[in-house]
């Protein structure tokens, strides 16, 4: 099928924090490269994005900071929009899901599906805070974990033992709004019956879109094969788009219902501002809809959103969803809460003018097929060894030589020899190659091919040695330099999607206007006699000190984070008497044998010599110790704990562990050798 227009979306950044390099590498850089390429092709392309500003985490953050959710999203929306702008992500429109157009669009969408009888209604009992008169999101409920006894477990998860919970599991639940115990109250929600769309999804994805990236296709298949369940499209919350039904007072649309519709709302805003019609971009079958996202969004963009669109009936469906994996930073997962990230707004401030370098590095090292790692050392190396040494250097050589021998005027191309012809032939092939790679979302490959053009230029100069030939044959040198400059002019097109600012500079040096992709591959982009500007460096070397400073900064944030986590240290438990303590029989033991408990991730079955006898104790330490590492360890054992069956094995006691701030466990061991049976008091 040939498409007339292209609607390209990039995942909506969630407005509870700034944008970091992981977002850029996974979503915005590839999307922007793709869009810039399409524009050079003179395609009708629309690039849409915006801030996702609704949902529970934002309300939590607002609460924590003592400000309103609106304050939170205003702050981050402004910050994100500004840094995208400065970085050069060329959205046609950057919107936000708190905009009136979006509320209108998403609630109309809901209404249409409701009227068409798409939703199923279901009532269930949820916790309700009587004092503040509202239903409580899972995260708003705290209580005692039924699993480990941790007193401040959340309704969806216990952060102490990691088990996932449902709010009704909690003992002594408390509302985090009023601090009072919530009551169970009946509430009704509207569900999207995903299960009814299973066959349709199978055809849509598994049959009709076999070309999707393997990670995306595989993940979709996995979801579909596991069986889809109805999913609630409404929530009891006060921060979101109100459900447009009389009987749904106080309820809002589920963020993952409204967020993707945000792409449509943004398109409407763009159309209005530019006096265009938005509808063809979403409704004409000759429009190609492409979503750039990270892997965490696959299910929403490939399954839920298409079902919503299909249920509505008037809309086209995503034709491709090129999801990337994740980018790590210096070996660790990027984490907003732990401040382990390179934030875009800080990068722009601390390394001014280095936008294209970051684009280059993130593209060259994009997590296209698997998670990848960003290191500052690599950032420096790619800049110095590739951008400076290959790309910048080639341009500089060609321009400097032209100034030296021809006063900066493009010399005529005389008779071409075999080598020249070969170079010109290859030059004509690159646009096809690079374009092909880009169209297949192989950005790394495309970038590499683009750099090959510069490599070819360097080799051509080395092979023809104009600085030697000039002594005998100036005309020949003219041909060599003309050809070299034509390569440079071609680069100003071929590199433009990747390095837009650089190409602007390059065009200024060459004295040409912005060209189209269709011009690339040609050997006459520069006219003879065209006056060049003086050579200006396109890239500068990055010194060790610059990257060392960034590495130091990261190290510092790692240190800062520890005290931060200690803030979360649990408060002291209620006072006990000495007699209480005496009830505990704690002794030193030695691990005799250890094996993994089948079907469990965390549990090890240990046999421990307690001095009295050998006992079986099940312990949740498998993520910190292999059975081999555990055997032979001296451990501290709570001996007289009531035996309990864990996954079918009776555990006769408990191994005492010390837990670090990062969640790792360590055995509690005496600093001097103590034989099994030694008492702890």
Q: Does 126 bind RNA (CB under 7 A)?
A: no
Q: Looking at 68, 70, 222, 274, which residue binds RNA (CB under 7 A)?
A: 222
Binding to RNA, residues 53-72 (CB under 7 A): none
List helix spans (H) across 515-624. 544-566, 578-582
Helix (H) or strand (E) holding 594: strand 586-596
DSSP-assigned states of every residue in 34-90: HHHHHHHTT-EEEEEEEEB--SHHHHHHHHHHTS-HHHHHHHHHHHHHHHHHHHT--
Contacts of 190 (CB under 8 A, 6+ apart): 114, 119, 120, 121, 232, 233, 234, 243, 248
Q: Looking at 108, 195, 373, 422, which residue binds RNA (CB under 7 A)?
A: 373
Q: Does 467 bind RNA (CB under 7 A)?
A: yes
Q: Does 400 bind RNA (CB under 7 A)?
A: yes
Q: Which is nearer to RNA, 458 or 550 (CB)?
A: 458
Q: Which is nearer to RNA, 281 or 539 (CB)?
A: 539
Q: Looking at 372, 479, 482, 523, which residue binds RNA (CB under 7 A)?
A: 372
For 540, phi and psi rounded to 5 degrees?
Answer: -115, 150
- Rounded to whole angstroms, the Cα distance separating 325 from 323 reads 7
Per-residue binding letters, 423-462, with RNA (x by CB under 7 A): ---------------------xx--x------x--xx-xx
**124: buried, middle or exposed (CB in 10 Å: 19+, 13-18, 0-12)?**
exposed
CA 106 to each of CA 102, 197, 249, 308, 358: distance values in angstroms, whole numbers, following the listed order: 6, 21, 17, 11, 36
- Rounded to whole angstroms, the Cα distance separating 319 from 22 reads 24
Q: Does 245 bind RNA (CB under 7 A)?
A: no
Which span (338-346, 390-398, 547-555, 664-672) binds RNA, by CB under 7 A? 390-398
Q: How many CA atoms lie within 13 A of 590 on its CB side?
A: 10
Which span (111-119, 170-178, 213-221, 558-566) binds RNA, by CB under 7 A? 213-221
Q: Does 404 bind RNA (CB under 7 A)?
A: yes
Per-residue binding letters, 582-621, with RNA (x by CB under 7 A): --------------x-xxxx--------------------
- Rounded to whole angstroms, the Cα distance separating 574 from 151 reads 12
DSSP 138: G
Q: Looking at 541, 551, 614, 657, which residue binds RNA (CB under 7 A)?
A: 541
Q: Does 296 bind RNA (CB under 7 A)?
A: yes
Q: Which is nearer to RNA, 85 or 332 (CB)?
A: 332
Residues in binding contact with RNA, number by CB under 7 A: 69
Q: Does 624 bind RNA (CB under 7 A)?
A: no
Which span (45-53, 106-114, 183-191, 212-220) binds RNA, by CB under 7 A? 212-220
Which span (222-230, 507-515, 517-525, 577-585) binds RNA, by CB under 7 A? 222-230
Which span (66-74, 387-395, 526-534, 554-562) binds RNA, by CB under 7 A? 387-395
Q: Which is nearer to RNA, 201 or 588 (CB)?
A: 201
Find out whether 602 and 633 touch, Cβ atoms under 8 Å. Answer: no
Q: Does 539 bind RNA (CB under 7 A)?
A: yes
CB of 560 to RNA, least distance (A): 23
Q: Which residues pair with 666 in a beta bridge?
A: 658
- Rounded to whole angstroms, the Cα distance separating 3 from 6 reads 7
Q: Which is nearer to RNA, 444 or 522 (CB)?
A: 444
Q: Which is nearer to RNA, 52 or 386 (CB)?
A: 386
Q: Looking at 122, 284, 371, 504, which residue binds RNA (CB under 7 A)?
A: 371
Q: Which is nearer to RNA, 559 or 598 (CB)?
A: 598
**Measured in Å, how far apart are the chain's first and last C-alpha atoms?**
78
Q: Which is nearer to RNA, 433 or 448 (CB)?
A: 448
Q: Which is nearer to RNA, 21 or 248 (CB)?
A: 21
DSSP-assigned states of every residue in 235-271: EE-SSSPBPSSGGGTTEEE-HHHHHHHHHHHHHHHHH
- Rounded to whole angstroms, the Cα distance separating 508 from 537 reads 12
3-state helix/strand/coil string of 463-515: HHCHHHHCCCCHHHHHHHHHHHHHHHHHHHHHCCCCCHHHHHHHHHHHCCCCC
Q: What angle do CA 675, 679, 681 make, to 5 degrees?
A: 140
Q: Looking at 214, 275, 277, 681, which residue binds RNA (CB under 7 A)?
A: 214
- Rounded to whole angstroms, the Cα distance separating 274 from 285 reads 23
Contacts of 539 (CB under 8 A, 6+ apart): 356, 357, 383, 387, 388, 391, 392, 502
Q: Which is nearer to RNA, 112 or 426 (CB)?
A: 426
Q: Looking at 369, 421, 524, 549, which residue binds RNA (CB under 7 A)?
A: 369
Binding to RNA, residues 141-160 (CB under 7 A): 147
Q: Does 508 bind RNA (CB under 7 A)?
A: no
Which span (108-116, 364-372, 429-437, 653-661) binds RNA, by CB under 7 A? 364-372
Q: Which is nearer to RNA, 372 or 520 (CB)?
A: 372
CB of 94 to RNA, least distance (A): 27
Q: Which is nearer to RNA, 38 or 538 (CB)?
A: 538
Q: Does 367 bind RNA (CB under 7 A)?
A: yes
- Rounded to whole angstroms, the Cα distance separating 540 from 561 reads 34
Per-residue binding letters, 251-270, with RNA (x by CB under 7 A): --------------------
Contacts of 50 (CB under 8 A, 6+ apart): 12, 93, 94, 95, 96, 97, 99, 262, 263, 265, 266
Binding to RNA, residues 642-661 (CB under 7 A): 646-648
Nearest-CA neighbor of 5 among 390, 389, 347, 286? 286
Helix (H, G, I), strand (E, B) or coil at 355: helix
Q: Does 401 bind RNA (CB under 7 A)?
A: yes
Residues that bind RNA (CB under 7 A): 147, 163-165, 169, 214-215, 217-219, 221-223, 225-226, 295-296, 325-326, 333, 364-365, 367-373, 378, 381, 384-386, 388-390, 392-393, 396-397, 400-401, 404, 444-445, 448, 455, 458-459, 461-463, 465, 467-468, 537-541, 596, 598-601, 646-648
């Amino acid at each position: 099928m040939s498409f007339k227009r292209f609607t390209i979306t990039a995942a909506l950044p969630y407005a509870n924090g700034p944008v970091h390099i992981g977002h850029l590498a996974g979503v915005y850089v590839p999307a922007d490269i793709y869009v810039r390429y399409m524009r050079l092709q003179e395609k009708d392309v629309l690039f849409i994005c915006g801030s996702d500003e609704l949902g529970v985490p934002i309300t939590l953050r607002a609460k924590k900071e003592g400000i309103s959710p609106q304050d939170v999203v205003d702050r981050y929306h402004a910050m994100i929009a500004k840094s995208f702008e400065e970085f050069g992500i060329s959205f046609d429109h950057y919107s936000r899901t708190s905009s009136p157009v979006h509320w209108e669009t998403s609630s109309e969408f809901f209404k249409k599906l409701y009227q068409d009888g798409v939703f199923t209604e279901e009532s269930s009992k949820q916790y309700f805070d009587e004092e503040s008169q509202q239903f409580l999101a899972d995260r708003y409920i705290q209580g005692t974990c039924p699993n480990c006894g941790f007193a401040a477990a959340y309704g969806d998860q216990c952060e102490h033992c990691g088990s996932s919970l449902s709010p009704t599991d909690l003992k002594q639940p408390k509302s985090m709004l009023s601090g009072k115990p919530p009551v169970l109250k009946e509430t009704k929600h509207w569900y999207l019956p995903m299960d009814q769309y299973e066959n349709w999804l199978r055809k849509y994805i598994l049959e009709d879109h076999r070309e999707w990236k393997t990670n995306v296709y595989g993940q979709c298949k996995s979801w579909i094969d596991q069986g889809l369940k109805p999913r609630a499209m409404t929530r009891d919350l006060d921060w979101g788009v109100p459900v447009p039904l009389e009987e749904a007072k106080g309820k809002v649309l589920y963020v993952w219902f409204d967020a993707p519709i945000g792409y449509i709302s943004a398109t409407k805003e763009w159309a209005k501002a530019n006096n265009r019609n938005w509808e063809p971009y979403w409704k004409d079958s000759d429009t190609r809809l492409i979503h750039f996202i990270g892997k965490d969004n696959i299910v929403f963009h490939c399954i839920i959103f298409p079902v919503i669109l299909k249920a509505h009936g008037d809309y086209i469906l995503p034709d491709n969803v090129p999801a990337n994996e994740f980018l790590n930073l210096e070996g660790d997962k990027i984490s907003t809460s732990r401040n382990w990230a390179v934030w875009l707004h800080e990068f722009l401030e601390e390394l001014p003018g280095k936008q294209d370098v970051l684009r280059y590095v993130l593209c060259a090292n994009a997590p296209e097929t698997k998670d990848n790692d960003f290191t500052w050392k690599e950032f420096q190396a790619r800049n110095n060894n590739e951008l400076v040494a290959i790309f910048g250097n080639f341009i500089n050589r060609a321009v400097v030589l032209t100034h030296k021998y021809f006063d900066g005027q493009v010399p005529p191309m005389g008779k071409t020899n075999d080598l020249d012809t070969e170079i010109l032939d290859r030059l004509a092939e690159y646009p096809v190659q690079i374009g092909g790679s880009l169209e297949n979302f192989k950005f790394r490959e495309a970038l590499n091919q683009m750099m090959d053009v510069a490599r070819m230029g360097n080799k051509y100069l080395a092979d023809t040695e104009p600085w030697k030939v000039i002594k005998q044959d100036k005309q020949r040198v003219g041909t060599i330099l003309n050809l070299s400059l034509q390569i440079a002019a071609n680069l100003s097109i071929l590199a433009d999607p990747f390095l837009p600012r650089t190409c602007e500079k390059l065009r200024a040096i060459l004295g040409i206007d912005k060209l189209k992709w269709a011009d690339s591959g040609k050997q006459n982009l520069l006219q003879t006699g065209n006056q060049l500007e003086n050579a200006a460096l396109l890239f500068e070397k990055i010194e060790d000190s610059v990257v060392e400073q960034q590495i130091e900064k990261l190290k510092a944030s790692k240190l800062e984070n520890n005290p931060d986590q200690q803030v979360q240290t649990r408060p002291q438990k209620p006072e006990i008497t000495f007699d209480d303590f005496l009830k505990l029989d704690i002794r030193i033991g030695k691990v005799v044998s250890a094996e993994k408990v089948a079907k469990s991730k965390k549990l090890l079955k240990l046999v421990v010599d307690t001095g009295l006898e050998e006992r079986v104790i099940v312990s949740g330490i498998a993520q910190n110790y292999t059975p081999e590492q555990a055997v032979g360890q001296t451990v501290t054992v709570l001996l007289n704990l009531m035996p309990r069956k864990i996954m079918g094995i009776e555990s006769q006691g408990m191994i005492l562990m010390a837990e670090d701030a990062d969640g790792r466990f360590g055995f509690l061991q005496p600093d001097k050798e103590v034989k099994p049976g030694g008492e702890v008091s």
